[in-house]
């Protein structure tokens, strides 16, 4: 009888311990589930994004500051929107210029979300916002380039593309603001402007003709400048030669005057010697190795040669 009681007590203790472990295990599992559930509803807002909190599909909160945040489980959901600048390639399109010519344009835009609540309310998502922005850009570019002639767009010397880009950016931002899309365009740029294939040949021919005409104009201006410089140089050279000739004649006259003075002084000192000297000087100019002289007996030459 006593042995049976001992066995029953041991079995009761084992059963009690097992139930205790079961309750502890369930509590731990429940706690872990609760922690995981809580963590799954905690989220981090990054510096380059907005967090949009929805409750039953409606936007109830927009978080802009980075940090740790929490949403109500099952009731609220969180989605991210980019806060950084984005680039959007506008689809290539064909437009008509003021003079009824066709041209292909290819644009891109740099933009960002400024007011995510307005953007969601009116565009719903980024894709729709880009589509609406693209529509405004195309209509504005078509309108602005439609005010210019074909040559003003394709000719670099007449191009106004820099100012057109700024005008398009300002107009598109006005349209987006009026429609409360909550986005802002930072810059709109034309990557390229191409011509339809059927117009390329005629345009290139005209451009070549214009360049040749301009080159001929530059050549004519160069020739005119060259002729002006040559004429000016010739004038200066003529003036310099005239001045040099006048100076040379002046010096020559002064030399001849000095020589005559010296001759006169020499003649006055010894007339016979001077006559002999002048006669001998004349021999240098009139007599050479092949000269045959036939002179009268009483000529000064004959007398000097004969020692008289």
Q: Domain segments of the chain: what residues? A: 15-82, 86-195, 270-308
Please state which architecture CATH assigns to domain 86-195: 2-Layer Sandwich (3.30)
- SS3 at position 95: strand
Report whether 80 contacts 45 (CB < 8 A).
Answer: no
Q: What's the half-sphere exposure (Cβ side, CA atoms, 13 Å) at 29?
A: 6
Residue 9: which residues within 8 A CB-CB, separation 6 or more? Answer: none
Question: Which one, of 127, 134, 113, lies nearest residue 180 by Cα?
Answer: 113
Tokens of 57: 């599909």
Q: How far apart are CA 17 and CA 15, in angstroms?
A: 6
Q: What are phi and psi of 156, to 5 degrees?
A: -60, -35
Tens of pLDDT, residue by residue over 252-291, are: 888 888 887 877 777 677 667 777 777 777 777 677 777 7
Write the pLDDT tens digit of every residue in 104-154.
888 899 999 999 999 999 998 999 999 999 999 999 988 888 888 877 776
The answer for 67, left when phi > 0, alpha when psi is -120 to 50, beta otherwise, is left
Q: What digits encode the pLDDT tens for the residues 142-201?
A: 888 888 887 777 664 455 555 788 889 999 999 999 999 999 999 998 887 776 666 666
Question: From the CB of residue 169, how many other CB atoms can be counted at a distance below 10 Å?
Answer: 21
């Amino acid at each position: 009888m006593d042995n049976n009681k001992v066995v029953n007590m041991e079995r009761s203790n084992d059963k009690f311990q097992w139930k205790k472990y079961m309750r502890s295990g369930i509590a731990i599992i429940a706690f872990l589930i609760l922690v995981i559930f809580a963590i799954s509803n905690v989220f981090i807002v990054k510096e380059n994004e907005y967090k949009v909190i929805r409750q039953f599909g409606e936007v109830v909160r927009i978080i802009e500051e980075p940090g740790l945040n929490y949403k109500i489980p099952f009731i609220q959901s969180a989605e991210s929107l980019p806060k950084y600048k984005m680039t959007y390639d506008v689809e290539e399109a064909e437009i008509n210029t003021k003079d009824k010519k066709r041209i292909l344009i290819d644009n891109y835009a740099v933009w960002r979300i400024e007011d995510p609540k307005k953007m969601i309310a009116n565009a719903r998502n980024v894709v729709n916002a880009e589509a609406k922005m693209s529509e405004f850009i195309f209509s504005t570019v078509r309108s602005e380039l439609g005010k210019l002639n074909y040559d003003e767009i394709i000719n670099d010397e007449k191009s106004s593309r820099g100012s057109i880009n700024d005008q398009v950016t300002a107009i598109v931002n006005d349209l987006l603001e009026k429609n409360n899309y909550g986005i802002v365009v930072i810059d709109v740029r034309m990557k390229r402007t191409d011509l339809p294939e059927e117009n390329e040949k005629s345009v290139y021919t005209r451009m070549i003709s214009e360049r040749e005409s301009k080159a001929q104009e530059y050549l004519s201006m160069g020739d005119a400048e060259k002729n002006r410089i040559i004429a000016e140089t010739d004038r200066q050279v003529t003036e310099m030669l005239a001045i040099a000739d006048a100076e040379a004649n002046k010096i020559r006259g002064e030399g001849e005057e000095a020589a005559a003075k010296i001759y006169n002084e020499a003649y006055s000192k010894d007339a016979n010697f001077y006559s002999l000297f002048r006669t001998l000087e004349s021999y240098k100019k009139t007599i050479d190795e092949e000269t045959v002289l036939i002179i009268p007996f009483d000529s000064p030459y004959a007398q000097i040669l004969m020692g008289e």
